[in-house]
């Protein structure tokens, strides 16, 4: 379970408090509509119903949703950091499936983690793979098929260098 930051928690708590106040004001407004102080004049009640919905209930809902979204993003970042540190090559499609998001959002989250210096490595945009520099065994020999010429090449893959097809020179990793 991931920890919730103070900012995320405070948004949710503040949203719940504002929601409770809004529902209370709404109940007062409904009471004034049903039993107005002046006979046949429920306008004060309508005012409190509309005011509570606009000024308290809606902002409360937005605060709770914003806090929940921020918590989901923080959990996704923790997952990215754990996966990037555990595996040498992390395909974006696999990351997106793990996070249950679209590949574009997974890429955005991965770039945010790199930008925040939470993970170290390089992103191979041609192949859609993050190559981690923080895992052990930073050098690996693989057999790869070239997308340019179709040739199979034995290449050395590491986080700090590019690997090329031995036949046409196309960048493989």
Encode pLDDT of 96-106 as tens digits.
Answer: 999 999 999 99
pTM: 0.61
Beta bridge partners of 104: none
- What confidence tens digit (pLDDT) does each residue in 77-88 have? 999 988 888 888
- Reported as a pLDDT band with limits 50, 70 and 90, residue 165 is confident
In the predicted structure, residue 74 carries a pLDDT above the cut 80:
yes
If phi > 0 it is left, if psi is from -120 to 50 it is alpha, else beta; for residue 117 that is left
**Where is average pLDDT lowest: 25-29, 35-39, 90-94?**
35-39
| Residue pair 165/151 in contact by the 8 Å Cβ criterion | yes
Helix (H) or strand (E) holding 21: helix 6-34
CA 89 to CA 97: how far, in whole Å?
A: 15
Extents of the domains making up the chain: 1-86
Average pLDDT estimate for 128-156: 79
């Amino acid at each position: 379970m991931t920890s919730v930051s103070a900012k995320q928690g405070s948004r949710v708590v503040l949203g719940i408090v504002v929601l409770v106040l809004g529902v209370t004001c709404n109940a007062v407004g409904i009471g004034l509509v049903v039993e107005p102080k002046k006979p046949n004049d429920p306008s004060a009640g309508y005012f409190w119903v509309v005011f509570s919905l606009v000024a308290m209930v809606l902002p409360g809902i937005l605060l709770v949703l914003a806090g929940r979204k921020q918590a989901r993003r923080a959990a996704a970042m923790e997952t990215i950091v754990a996966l990037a540190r555990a595996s040498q090559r992390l395909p974006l499609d696999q990351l997106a499936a793990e996070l249950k998001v679209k590949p574009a959002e997974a890429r955005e989250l991965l770039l945010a983690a790199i930008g925040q210096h939470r993970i170290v490595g390089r992103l191979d945009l041609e192949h859609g793979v993050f190559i981690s520099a923080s895992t052990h065994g930073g050098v690996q020999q693989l057999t790869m098929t070239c997308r340019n010429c179709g040739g199979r090449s034995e290449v050395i893959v590491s986080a700090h260098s590019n690997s090329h097809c031995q036949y046409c020179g196309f960048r493989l990793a």
